[in-house]
Amino acid sequence: MKLAVTGKGGVGKTTFTALICMALARAGYDVFAIDADPNATLLGCLGHPAPETVEPLVKLADLIEERTGARPGHSGGMFRMNPFVDDIPANYAQTVNGVRVLVAGAVKTGGSGCYCPENAMVRALVSHLLLEEKVALVVDMEAGIEHLSRGTIDSVDQLVIVSEPSRASVETVKRIRRLAADIRLPRVVGIGNCIRSPADEQFLRAALPDLEFAGFIPYDERIGEAERAGRSPAGASPAVDEAVARVVRLFADRLTR
């Protein structure tokens, strides 16, 4: 199972990623997560005690050079677009609450777009990791859509767009869906987050009538409390946990069909 989580800034992408990773682990999956947001927060959200001490992959210049043939920051010259990455999860992941996390780190794109050695590594990690049965990969993405390039996410089973019940968040969902259609991503689902009432859910369904929603996650202030205390959001709110477990069952059913 490969999922990429996207949506407008601040709608709960990282929180949802942490929740679904832990729920997948509880459901018996071997779970890998890639924090592909340059402003990495997934380790902390999962409850890692000192996330700032973890070197992101893009900082491992020697490793990137060894695998791609070029040092990070290099653009324009020659480097391998399909570096060997099969051993990276085992050797570089941080295990937190049963989830093995790889922090990609910030890639300076400059004028080179996504054609740089660092990005080739991250792209290869998302697309080439061969997942066996009961292995899941979840990618927490940067807000917005520019990085939704073909190659990085066209290998995912589901693009999961998280949205709050707000007009601004819905507009971002629409833009992401258009881009996903442009790059022919077939499986796009929505997650409604911070749902405080049936009217919130109704607002999202009405605003996005042709989007399939994989679930609606209630608002619960204990999620924010957990974040401020440096604890993972799983276990903080029974209603949130139940909603996320339903999403896991939906994705699992879909894969076995």
Ligand X SMILES: Nc1ncnc2c1ncn2[C@@H]1O[C@H](COP(=O)(O)OP(=O)(O)OP(=O)(O)O)[C@@H](O)[C@H]1O
Binding site for Mg ion (CB under 5 A): 13-14
Q: Is 6 in the site for ligand X (CB under 6 A)?
A: no
**How is residue 72 written in tokens?**
């990070």
Residues near ligand X (CB under 6 A), total: 19
Dump the DSSP string for 38-74: SS--HHHHTT-S-GGGSPPGGG-HHHHHHHHSS-TT-
Q: Is 238 in the site for ligand X (CB under 6 A)?
A: no
C-alpha 173, offset from chain centre: 15
Q: Is 200 in the site for ligand X (CB under 6 A)?
A: no
**How is residue 219 written in tokens?**
């608002």
Query: Which option in Mg ion, ligand X, none does residue 203 bind, with CB closer than 5 to 8 A by kind?
Result: none
Considering only residues 111-150, where is the footprint of ligand X by CB under 6 A? 143
* Smaller CB separation from ligand X, 113 or 224: 224
Query: Which option in Mg ion, ligand X, none does residue 227 bind, with CB closer than 5 to 8 A by kind?
Result: ligand X
* Smaller CB separation from ligand X, 12 or 215: 12
Determine whether 120 is exposed, middle or buried from the number of CB atoms within 10 Å of its CB (0-12, 13-18, 19+).
Answer: buried
Of 91, 89, 66, the residue nearest 79 (C-alpha): 66
Q: How far is the CB of 239 from ligand X (least distance, A)?
A: 9
Dump the DSSP string for 78-98: ---SS---TTHHHHHPEEETT
* Smaller CB separation from Mg ion, 14 or 237: 14
Whether 104 and 91 have beta carbons less than 8 Å apart is answered as no
Q: Is 14 in the site for ligand X (CB under 6 A)?
A: yes
* Smaller CB separation from ligand X, 16 or 32: 16
For the chain, the first-to-last Cα distance in angstroms comes to: 13
Query: Which option in ligand X, Mg ion, none does residue 193 bind, with CB closer than 5 to 8 A by kind?
Result: ligand X
Enumerate binding residues for ligand X (CB under 6 A).
Answer: 9-15, 37, 41, 143, 193-194, 217, 219-220, 223-224, 227, 240
